[in-house]
């Protein structure tokens, strides 16, 4: 399974120059990804990860071209995060 933390870092680096354009989709996406990464690193509960994954995917579905590469990368990160949440749930968290 790919590491979602590394995938988020890679995507953050990829969008860094566009993310400096205030109120661009990448600008907002950076904020969502940073928050999501923080949530995954904390690993407090499967429910927290599930909530954060839903928020990330809602943003991506509403703000990005669903046929575009950026959307696909977000969806892959969310899928990796979901798997991490499922592992926590299996461990009783």
What pLDDT does residue 1 have?
Answer: 56
What pLDDT does residue 92 have?
Answer: 87
Domain boundaries, given as residue ranges, for the chain: 4-90
Q: Give the dihedral sign, CA 32/14/64/73.
A: negative
What pLDDT does residue 19 have?
Answer: 87
Neighbours of 77 (CB within 10 A): 25
How do the pLDDT tens digits run along the chain, 93 residues long? 578 899 999 999 999 989 888 999 999 999 999 999 999 999 889 999 999 999 999 999 999 999 999 999 999 999 999 999 999 999 888
Give pTM, 2 decimals: 0.90
């Amino acid at each position: 399974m790919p590491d979602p933390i590394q995938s988020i870092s890679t995507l953050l680096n990829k969008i860094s120059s566009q993310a400096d354009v205030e109120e661009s989709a990448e600008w907002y996406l950076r904020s969502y990804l940073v928050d999501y990464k923080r949530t995954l690193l904390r690993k407090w509960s499967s429910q927290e990860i599930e909530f954060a994954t839903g928020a990330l995917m809602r943003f991506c579905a509403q703000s990005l071209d669903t046929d575009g590469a950026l959307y696909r990368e977000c969806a892959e990160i969310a899928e990796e995060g979901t798997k991490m949440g499922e592992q926590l749930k299996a461990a009783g968290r």
